[in-house]
Every structure is written in structure tokens, then in C-alpha cells.
Amino acid sequence: MRTLLNIFHLGIKELRGLGRDTLMLVLIVYSFSFQVYVAATGLPEAMHKAPIAIVDEDHSQLSTRIINAFYPPHFLPPAIIDYQAMDPGMDAGLYTFVLDIPPNFQRDVLAGRQPAIQLNIDATRMSQAFIGNSYIQNIINGEVADFVEGQRTVATLPVELEVRMRFNPNLTSTWFGSVMQVINSVTMLSIILTGAALIREREHGTLEHLLVMPLTPFEIMMSKVWSMGLVVVVVATASVIFVVQRALGVPIEGSIVLFVLGTALHLFATTSMGIFLGTVARSMPQMGLLMIIVLLPLQMLSGSTTPRESMPQLVQTIMLAAPTTHFVALAQAILYRGAGFGIVWPQFLALLGIGGVFFALALARFRRAIGSMA
């Protein structure tokens, strides 16, 4: 009971110290509000109001159908220009795409020939150019196929592919980006807060005061883990409800309570990592440098940015020891696909085991650090 009371009161001290750190409070609020919103709405993978111009040298029913197929929100209404205005318009940066429909295009299509359409792309606008190429090809192929089917008999294929998008029917990038940014912020802030709390104790000289009190290293470390973890859990839950679900309109399919439990297990590991880094770093600038080499692999190789299946097998195996890999998997399963505990229990078990190992390593390092100070 005395140990629990010591951990509780030391945790309250940590919360009060955090409350007086204005810059850290601003970072917490920014990371789970404005940064989540910007990261979700600023993803470049989706086409949005791309400027396009069309040179219609055919002036046929088919070319008119193709022109009318480009409309917001993926494209701006097409600008109809002549052939001489094509190059000057692209040189001036007025259009990302210029489509040139050649003369006699409809006649050649109906005759069974394979006429070519020229598509000029401004590749300096890399994100739109890369995605827009596929968009435009699919739009033209679809319009040509529908037109030909209405004009002459086309052999029907014995198999027809029916595509259905599960969990994100419109492929809205906001749904993916918002939740992944919350996950990244949980990892980042949990490590920063616990590491900064230990460094703050050392810089202010209060760690020496704790050493002369009847406190064990376990009690000191555990108080930092639960207090900073509680802060991150609260703001992450608020971010999911008020920013992701309400402000951005992302449908949450699963249980937020189950997600919070998974977040708590993830924080058990990441806060221990923060304590470990806090014992290695001697100042906040050193802590910042350590965060760079720790956070980048955790965020980029965990599956939140790139699917793990596209990574080398060695990287996939190594990242199984990272808590973020399992946290990303359970968060996507719960929030996107509505998975229950019966599906995500392997990730819960993995987080519990990884957290226990990281906690033991951090506690051993913390004891050695305190012993050298004593």
C-alpha cells in the first residue's frame, strides 16, 4: 500500500510539473488537434481540383463525352483550348494536364482502329502528375467503352469483375491520414514526455531530493510512466472523438474503449522507452537527437505510412519487436474494420510482452543511473 501511495503522489507531482510547462502543453494540444487535421486534409495522394485543358480536334459526340467526364472534385472544369495554346499554357503553369484528341478520333474508334490520344503532363507537380495519369486513362477508357457498346455489338466477356471497396468506399485519404497521425502523435509524445520529465528532474536538481527520500527507483519510474501515459491517453481519446470523428467526419466502426485499452498497453512500452532515453541523454538537445533516430523507424516501418508487406522480409521481422507495429495493426482493425477483442488479442498480448521487456530494461538502466548519482 505504501508503494502504491508513493507512486500516486509522485505521479501527481509530475502532472503538476507538466502543468507549469507551457511549451510542452502547447505541443500536446497542437499534436492532437491542428496537426492531426492538417495531416489528414493535406495528404497529396488524392486528386483534388487538378487543372486540365483539352484540345478537341475531332468535335464529335465521343470527344464531347470525354470532355464532360472531367469535373470536380478531382479536376477543375476543363479549359477548351486550341493546339497553339497548349505549349504556352503548360509553360506558364496554367494546366497540369493537357489532353489532345486527334481528328477523326470517333471514326477510327468505330472502325476498330486504335487511335492514340496525346496526354501532356506537367511533371513538376509530382503528386498530381503521378496519380492523375491513372485517373485520366481510366476515365477515357470508360467513356470509349460505353460509347462503343452503344454503337455496335461488342462480344460480352464470360467473366465480369465487380469491385467493391470495403471500409472506405470512396478511398478518402482523410480517413486514413487522421488516425495514422493520432497513432504517430501517441508514440512521439509518450516518449518525449517521460524522457523530458526525467531530464527536467536532473536539470532542476529535484532528482537528488528524491534519492534522499524513502523511495525506490521502481516507484520513481512507475510514477512517471502512469502520469505521462494518462495525459497521452486522455488527449488521444479526445482527438479521436472531437477531431477525427466529428471535425473530419471519419466513421469509427469499432469500440473506442477497446482502442483506449490498446493505447494504454502501447504507452506502457513507449513511456519505458522514454525513460531509457532520458537516462542516456544529458540534456534536452541530446534527447531531441535521440528522438530522431528512434521515431523515424518506429513511424515509417510500422505500417502506418507504407504497408509492411511491401518491405523486405528482414525489416518485417525486426519490426515485430517494435510496439508501434502491433499498435498500428490493432488501431486499424478496431477503428476501421470494427474488430473486437477476439480478433486483436494477439496484438494486445504482443504489446504486453514488449512493454514488459522495455520496462525491465528501462528500470535496470534507471537504477544504474541513480546509483551513479548517489
Q: What is the pLDDT of residue 264?
A: 95
Cβ-contact 348, 323 below 8 angstroms: no
Which domains, and CATH codes, for the chain? 2-43+172-373 (no CATH), 52-151 (3.40.1710.10)
Q: What is the pLDDT of residue 45?
A: 55
Q: What is the pLDDT of residue 303?
A: 86
Q: What is the pLDDT of residue 157?
A: 57
Q: What is the pLDDT of residue 43?
A: 60
Q: What are phi and psi of 47, to 5 degrees?
A: -75, 135
Residue 171: C-alpha distances to residues 27, 136, 317 (Å)? 31, 17, 29
Question: For 309, how many CA atoms within 13 A lie in the half-sphere containing its CB?
Answer: 1
pLDDT along the chain (374 residues), means of 10: 88 89 91 90 70 94 94 90 91 92 93 90 81 89 86 62 79 84 93 88 74 82 92 96 92 94 95 90 87 90 84 92 94 92 95 94 86 62
Angle at 115 between CA 109 and CA 120, to 5 degrees: 130
